């Protein structure tokens, strides 16, 4: 494994009496792709949310190692975690969850704009990413005018445009047919691990997991022994 960029140590998370995570520990390399698999309710989405600083765990640490500094995400307040999600992480959700009234270009540009980047600069970067992901010429289309695969590539561009060190994808191909799913995974891997960035994918799909360099399985909030993909 390359140098560790994100490490979870003994994470516990409870929803009422239900343990969504129990002593979950794992680490992710800087240019590694990790698939988290498991049945519904196994805790995989909760793990992803804890790793990404969306929710804090009840116990345990989530260490982010970047540029020689180590930050415990779990110990940060909501404002700092929010800033981290904006500037250091990227997200791709199952149905893209793009903003329907914005164009493809604006959907991508809004991510750096949130961090204070000037609109013109943000749109230039966004245009480059869209072009790189095969969406040149579709910049001014609104999300409803794109196919599912195209919309998902817009979401990938949005996740990357801020220069995210780690991209989290929650069922990124869940709503797509197998061919489009392959294309989206190609785009996702090409724009992350191939660029030295880490990718964490939550998926039910064994084919998607097989494309990642490593897979962990979850059951009842616990990480099962990891298996290295062939």
Partner 1 sequence: MIPRLTWMLARPTRESLGVTALPVVAFGIVTALLIAVLGGAQAFWSWTDDLAITYQALAIVALALLIVPLTTLGGSAARLSARRRDDRLATLRLLGATPASVGAIAVLESAALALVGAVLGVVASFGLLPLLALIPFRGEPLGLGSVVLPPLALVGVVLGVTLVAVVSAVLGLRRVTISPLGVRTRQDAPRAHWILPVLAVLFILVTALAMSALSGLGSIVAILVVLAIGFGGSIAVLNLIGPWVLRLVARGRVRRARTPEKLLAARGILESPKAAWRQVSGTAMVSFMAVFAGSGAAVLDALSGAEGADSETRMLTADIATGLTITVVISFLMVACSVGVNQAAGILDRADLYASLHRLGMPPAVADAARRGTVMVPLLVTSLGSAVVAAIVVFPLTGAALLLAPLSLVVIGAVLAAGILLVRLGLVATAPLLRRASLSVPVSV
Residues that bind partner 1 (CB under 8 A): 15, 18, 20, 40-43, 45-46, 49, 52, 54-55, 79, 82-87, 89, 91, 93, 97, 99-102, 106, 110-111, 113-114, 118-119, 142, 144, 158, 221
- For the bound state, the minimum distance from the C-beta of residue 61 to partner 1, rounded and expressed in Å, comes to 20
Which CB atom, from 45 or from 125, has the smaller least distance to partner 1? Answer: 45
Which CB atom, from 149 or from 221, has the smaller least distance to partner 1? Answer: 221
- For the bound state, the minimum distance from the C-beta of residue 97 to partner 1, rounded and expressed in Å, comes to 4
Which CB atom, from 59 or from 182, has the smaller least distance to partner 1? Answer: 59
Cite the beta strand spans of the chain per DSSP E: 4-15, 18-29, 33-38, 59-66, 69-72, 89-92, 166-170, 198-202, 214-219, 222-223, 227-228
- For the bound state, the minimum distance from the C-beta of residue 224 to partner 1, rounded and expressed in Å, comes to 16
Count of CB atoms situated within 10 Å of the CB of 30: 18
Which CB atom, from 76 or from 182, has the smaller least distance to partner 1? Answer: 76
Give which of 173, 10, 197 is closest to 92, Cα–Cα.
173
- For the bound state, the minimum distance from the C-beta of residue 110 to partner 1, rounded and expressed in Å, comes to 5
The CA distances from residue 105 to 43, 108, 111, 115, 180, in Å, are 34, 5, 11, 17, 21
Which CB atom, from 2 or from 25, has the smaller least distance to partner 1? Answer: 25
- For the bound state, the minimum distance from the C-beta of residue 189 to partner 1, rounded and expressed in Å, comes to 21
Residues 6+ apart with CB under 8 A from 2: 29, 30, 31, 32
């Amino acid at each position: 494994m390359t140098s560790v960029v994100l490490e979870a140590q003994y994470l516990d998370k409870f929803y009422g009496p239900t343990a969504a995570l129990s002593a979950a520990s794992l680490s992710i390399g800087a240019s590694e792709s990790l698939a988290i698999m498991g049945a519904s309710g196994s805790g995989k989405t909760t793990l992803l949310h804890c790793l990404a600083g969306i929710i804090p765990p009840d116990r345990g640490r989530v260490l982010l190692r970047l540029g020689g500094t180590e930050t415990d995400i779990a110990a940060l307040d909501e404002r700092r975690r929010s800033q981290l999600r904006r500037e250091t992480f990227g997200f791709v959700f199952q149905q893209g969850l793009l903003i329907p009234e914005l164009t493809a270009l604006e959907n991508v540009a809004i991510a750096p704009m949130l961090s204070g980047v000037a609109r013109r600069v943000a749109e230039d970067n966004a245009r480059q990413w869209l072009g790189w992901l095969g969406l040149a010429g579709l910049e001014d289309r609104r999300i409803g005018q794109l196919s599912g695969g195209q919309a998902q590539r817009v979401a990938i561009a949005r996740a990357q445009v801020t220069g995210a060190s780690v991209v989290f994808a929650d069922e990124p191909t869940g709503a797509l047919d197998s061919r489009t799913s392959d294309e989206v995974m190609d785009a996702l891997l090409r724009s992350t691990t191939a660029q030295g960035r880490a990718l964490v994918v939550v998926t039910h799909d064994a084919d998607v997991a097989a494309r990642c360099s490593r897979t962990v399985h979850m059951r009842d909030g616990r990480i099962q022994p990891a298996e290295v993909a062939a």
